[in-house]
Amino acid sequence: MNNYYARLLKIYVVTPLFFTVIPVTLIIIVLQGMIRNIRQLTLNSCQQDRFERQIRRMLIVQRILLAASGFPFALESAYLHATSTTQKSSLHKTVENLFLQILRFVFHMNFVGTLYFYLYISSEKVTADNQMVLSALNSSNPT
């Protein structure tokens, strides 16, 4: 496989897969596991429904942000490929590089921001997670 086809594969397959499709798929899988774990907790129905709604809302927002922050990488790669034969001034290259750095910053802040958002907004979920871990530890440690 020559360099041209490897570059096309990276631009149109690898970049969208690793920056959008795979992370969103993993989030969906984790969401299903979290909801399954919440259903196994011994909570009243109203509290359980509230936890499920809260987790769904939080993860839907994260999926949208992840897709929105990952999709520009695919566009940027396609743009760079389309303009690779064009003669560019140093200012043009600088603007492209600045745009790429901003994209990277937004993409990485998405993950860090989501973590802090979860910690800030979901003290109830943290309490439920702690209860689940403690009950799992108690059931695995027969005394």
In the chain, where the domains are located:
3-140
More confident residue, 51 or 5: 5
Token readout for 103 is 């994209």
Report pLDDT digits (tens) over 28-67. Answer: 787 778 778 777 776 677 777 777 777 777 777 777 777 7
CA separation for the pair 112, 66 (Å, rounded): 12
Which of 6-20, 21-35, 83-97, 106-120 comes out lowest in average pLDDT?
106-120
Average pLDDT rounded to a whole number, residues 11-32: 78
CA separation for the pair 64, 58 (Å, rounded): 10
**Which pTM was predicted?**
0.48
CA separation for the pair 96, 101 (Å, rounded): 9
Report pLDDT digits (tens) over 93-102. Answer: 899 889 888 8
